[in-house]
Amino acid sequence: MPQLIAADFLPQLIWLAITFGALYYIISRLAIPKIGSVIEQRHGRIAADIADAARLKEDTEKAIESYEAALAEARANAHAIVSENRAQMTAEINKEAAALDERLSKKLAEAEVSIAKTRDAAMAQVTGIAQDTTEAIVTELLGKKPTKAAISSAVSSAAKG
């Protein structure tokens, strides 16, 4: 093995130094700058992506705020429309109820007048029927026909109480 021969130590050390120096020079002048530029580019890209993400987050928050504002405005408009419709419907219902109450009141007044006329007519007939019945009963019981004036006064006094 040539590595273990003592006479070959010095040339091996020189070639080791030359090879190491050449490799160091190539790595330090070519490879490291390329790796460094790739790392810097990557760092720049990451920073740009983070900035874009922050900007997009702000845009999203603004969009959410505008959406919520529009939603609140739409709810308020809907509530106003519902309140307005409710008020209109209530007014129409009250108007129709008043018209119906008025019609019912007129019909009730007409019915009361009709009932009063019918009652008065019936009461007039009751007096005549009572006089005829009284005349028939008295004639049947006493055997003689009473006078109309006596029958009228008897029916009137009985009717008064």
Q: State residue 157's pLDDT score.
A: 81
- Evaluate if pTM is beyond 0.85: no
Tokens of 87: 């008020």
131 residue type, one letter: Q
Name the band, by pLDDT with cuts 50, 70 and 90, for residue 1: low
Whole-angstrom CA distances from 95 to 64, 87, 92, 160 are: 46, 12, 5, 48
**Sign of the CA dihedral 66, 67, 69, 70?**
positive
Q: Which of 11-25, 36-50, 142-156 has the lowest mean pLDDT?
A: 142-156
Measured CA to CA, the distance from residue 109 to residue 153 in angstroms comes to 35
Query: Could you report the per-residue pLDDT of 14-25, keeping only the tens digit for each?
Result: 999 999 999 999
